[in-house]
Amino acid sequence: MSYKLLVFDWDGTLMDSEARIVACIQSAFADLGEMPPPREIAREVIGLGLEEAMTMLWPDGSVLQRRELVDRYRFHFLGGQETESPLFPGARELVQDLNARGLLLAVATGKSRRGLESALTSTGLRSHFHATRCADETFSKPHPEMLLQVMAELGADRSETLMIGDTEFDMEMARNAGVAALAVAYGVHHPERLLRHEPLDCLNELQELRDWLERHLEP
């Protein structure tokens, strides 16, 4: 295949951040005196922009209440929460190897710009990505705008672009942008949710992702 641009989701695809995100969501609700959602519910919004995620989790809350919820989430995620968010084993090496092959690499994430910049700094992977887009800069997934902007910035056609992610929001964004998608099932959404969007494949481990790319990318 002639993909020259690989666009990665971040949380649940490269970084194992589910526990930290869920803890911050639950702490934010508790700060406002509301019953925190259980893990099974909180993890379902990972991948969306913060405002969209909080609207889904608290549909009966007012606009002001949800803004306060977003603020409390950011407080915990950017400083108050001690739960670690490590890269998945092998993720660093995969990104480094793909970059060394001369491929264009990008990130399209539901994280805020501040959150992504913190993650890129802590992991040391900033220099390996040629473009990044965050949900507080443009439309949240599954709107295609993040992908469209990345492709325009890097000069890649739809046929040359592959979206890699762990949620159905990633799969829908890819379909809406007219690009191919590759699903990974070691993140937050179950395989059946991913497969309904007809990705090229659905992989259960990061090593399977590496193997798939080795088989299908042109030398």
What CATH number is given to the structural domain containing 92? Answer: 3.40.50.1000
ω into 86 cis (within 30 of 0) = no
48 and 103 together in one domain: no
> At residue 79, does pLDDT exceed 90?
no
Task: Examine the fold and report which residue of 80, 97, 116 is the final residue of a domain before the chain moves on.
Answer: 80
Do 185 and 103 share a structural domain? yes
Q: 102: pLDDT confidence band, cut at 50, 70 and 90?
A: very high
9 is catalytic: yes
Query: One of 11, 16, 166, 170 is an active-site residue; which one?
Result: 11
Claim to verify: residue 12 and residue 118 sit in the same structural domain: yes
Q: Do the beta carbons of residue 145 and residue 46 sit within 8 Å?
A: no
Q: Which residue segment(s) compose the domain that 123 sits in?
A: 5-16+87-216
Range of weakest confidence among 94-98, 141-145, 215-219: 215-219
Residue 1 confidence (pLDDT): 66
Percent of the chain with pLDDT over 70: 98
Q: Same domain for 210 and 152?
A: yes
User: Is residue 124's pLDDT more than 90?
Assistant: yes
**Residue that finishes a domain, picked among 80, 101, 116:** 80
What is the secondary structure of the chain as a DSSP string? ----EEEE--BTTTB--HHHHHHHHHHHHHHTT-PPPPHHHHGGGBTB-HHHHHHHH-TTS-HHHHHHHHHHHHHIIIII-----PBPTTHHHHHHHHHHTT-EEEEEESS-HHHHHHHHHHHT-GGG-SEEEETTTSPPTTSTHHHHHHHHHHT--GGGEEEEESSHHHHHHHHHHT-EEEEETTSSS-HHHHHTT--S-EESSHHHHHHHHHHHS--
Average pLDDT score over residue span 10-16: 96
pLDDT band at 85 (very low <50, low <70, confident <90, very high): confident
Per-residue model confidence (pLDDT) at position 43: 93
The type of residue at 138 is T
Residues 11 and 30 in one domain: no
Q: Is 170 a catalytic residue?
A: no
**Residue 185 pLDDT > 80:** yes
Q: Which of 59-68, 73-82, 111-120, 185-194 has the lowest mean pLDDT?
A: 73-82
The pLDDT assigned to 218 comes to 74
Are 116 and 208 part of one and the same domain?
A: yes
| Arithmetic mean of pLDDT, 112-137 | 94
Query: What pLDDT, on the 0 to 100 scale, is given for residue 195?
Result: 97
What was the pLDDT predicted at 81?
67
- pTM for this predicted structure: 0.93
Question: What is the domain count for the chain?
Answer: 2
Point out which residues pair with 202 in neighbouring strands.
183
Averaged pLDDT, 119-147: 96
Residue 66 and residue 35 share a domain: yes
CATH number at residue 32: 1.10.150
Indicate if 98 and 181 belong to the same structural domain: yes
12 and 26 both lie in a single domain: no
Token pair listed for 205: 């481990």
Asked which of 57, 80, 103 is the last residue of a domain, the reply is 80
Residue 191 and residue 96 share a domain: yes
**One domain, residues 211 and 107:** yes
Same domain, 60 and 149: no
